[in-house]
């Protein structure tokens, strides 16, 4: 009985200690990965406006994004008692996105427990374990965010290249289902030195004409270097707040260009946080399992889970653009 009581006390201490660390864990997961940092709102003000891609929900079997794909045909001027058009309007649908779930465990064996007596030793041990978990969660999510599939039996989070596409289906809707609204503009580029900046101008202008407003541009380290080299002397500007957040950048039309080493090879993505979202569940935003640390029957270990439930979503693909085949 004493052993069981001691185990419960120890597990409670672990739970309290980790719970106090959770906000730091949540920050650290995003701090080293550019795309994750942007999605989680860490670069919100730094990229020009208060809008951030992050949205928090408390439930729902799936995530619905209302899609407007046709104008309201009843809008018109009229005079006096002239009959007003009351035709019921269609032109709206929903894109539907399934939740994705991720977990990682933190476990301390009986041997580690007995070798690290005292709260200070416990904090150091738990800190090392959570640092390992932070790094693993961050790398896995970042990898999945840059894929064109939802791999692993469709359980993975939807990658940006699948949302920002002129050909691929997302949200249960094919490109041909609702016309131009569900198709991202694309610029096919050859060598950056001969056409890169011109193509960037073309893409930016296309998006602005469609009502988009790119707030960040992601690309590969190689293409970033090429763009940086093209902005010599007085033409080269950086966003200091993005720099302060830990990321090198060179601006384009005041929009920070940031490299992510997981970005699709030969590509550049122009993103608007109003239309590409990072949706998380309020009860599983890299939070500890409600049960805290537990000791499974027959095992000499104290263990808990860190849980995430969320998804990336899109509501207007034609306001998100990309360049491809850049060399």
pTM of the model: 0.88
Q: Which two tokens stand for residue 268?
A: 């550049």
pLDDT band at 129 (very low <50, low <70, confident <90, very high): confident
pLDDT band at 273 (very low <50, low <70, confident <90, very high): very high
Task: Quickly tell me which residue has 């090198």 as its tokens.
Answer: 248
Provide the β-strand partners of residue 187.
323
CA distance 80 to 83: 9
Average pLDDT over residues 82-102: 85
| Packing angle of the helix pair 221-230, 192-209 (nearest 10 deg) | 90
Q: Which two tokens stand for residue 76?
A: 């018109």
Q: Which residue ranges form the domains of the chain, and what is each CATH number?
A: 2-68+93-324 (3.90.1690)
Of 51-55, 191-195, 296-300, the poorest mean pLDDT is in 51-55
Average pLDDT over residues 70-96: 81
pLDDT at 2: 44
The H or E element spanning position 46 is none
DSSP line for 144-194: HHT-SS--TTTTSPPPHHHHS-SS--BTTB-TTTSGGGG---EEE-S-HHH
Q: Which two tokens stand for residue 155?
A: 């359980």
Handedness of CA 36, 40, 42, 47 (dihedral sign): positive
Handedness of CA 270, 273, 277, 280 (dihedral sign): positive
The H or E element spanning position 326 is none
The C-alpha angle with vertex 216 and arms to 93 and 58, in degrees rounded to 5, equals 50
pLDDT at 50: 57
305, pLDDT greater than 50: yes
| Structure-derived torsion over alpha carbons of residues 154, 66, 138, 145, reported in degrees to the nearest 10 | 60
CA distance 175 to 267: 20
Average pLDDT over residues 160-179: 93
44, pLDDT greater than 60: no
Provide the β-strand partners of residue 109.
301
Of 44-58, 216-230, 242-256, the poorest mean pLDDT is in 44-58
49, pLDDT greater than 60: no
20, pLDDT greater than 50: yes
CA distance 196 to 193: 6
DSSP line for 237-306: ---HHHHHTT---EEETTEEEEE-TTSPTT-EEEE-TTTEEEEEEEEEEEEE-TT-SB--TT-SEEEEEE
């Amino acid at each position: 009985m004493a052993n069981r009581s001691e185990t419960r006390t120890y597990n409670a201490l672990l739970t309290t200690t980790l719970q106090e660390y959770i906000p730091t864990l949540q920050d650290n997961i995003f701090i080293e990965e550019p795309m994750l940092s942007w999605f989680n709102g860490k670069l919100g003000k730094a990229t020009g406006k208060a809008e951030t891609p992050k949205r928090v929900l408390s439930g729902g079997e799936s995530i619905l994004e209302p899609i407007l794909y046709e104008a309201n045909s009843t809008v018109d001027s009229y005079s006096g008692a002239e009959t007003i058009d009351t035709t019921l309007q269609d032109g709206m649908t929903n894109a539907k996105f399934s939740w994705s779930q991720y977990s990682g465990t933190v476990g301390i064996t009986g041997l580690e427990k007995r070798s690290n007596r005292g709260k200070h030793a416990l904090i150091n041990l738990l800190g090392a374990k959570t640092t390992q978990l932070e790094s693993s969660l961050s790398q896995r999510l970042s990898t999945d965010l840059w894929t064109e599939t939802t791999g692993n039996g469709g359980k993975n989070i939807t990658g940006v290249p699948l949302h920002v596409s002129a050909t691929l289906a997302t949200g249960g809707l094919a490109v041909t289902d609702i016309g131009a609204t569900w198709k991202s503009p694309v610029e096919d580029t050859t060598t950056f030195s001969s056409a890169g900046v011109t193509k960037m101008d073309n893409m930016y202008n296309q998006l602005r004409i469609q009502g988009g407003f790119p707030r960040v541009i992601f690309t590969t380290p190689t293409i970033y270097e090429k763009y940086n080299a093209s902005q010599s002397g007085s033409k080269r500007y950086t966003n200091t707040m993005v720099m302060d957040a830990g990321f090198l950048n060179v601006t384009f039309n005041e929009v920070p260009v940031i490299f992510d080493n997981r970005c699709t090879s030969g590509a550049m993505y122009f993103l608007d946080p109003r239309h590409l979202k990072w949706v998380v569940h309020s009860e599983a935003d890299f939070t500890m399992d409600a049960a805290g640390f537990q000791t499974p029957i027959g095992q000499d270990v104290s263990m808990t889970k860190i849980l995430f439930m969320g998804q990336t979503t899109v509501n207007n693909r034609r306001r998100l653009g990309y360049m491809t085949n850049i060399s």
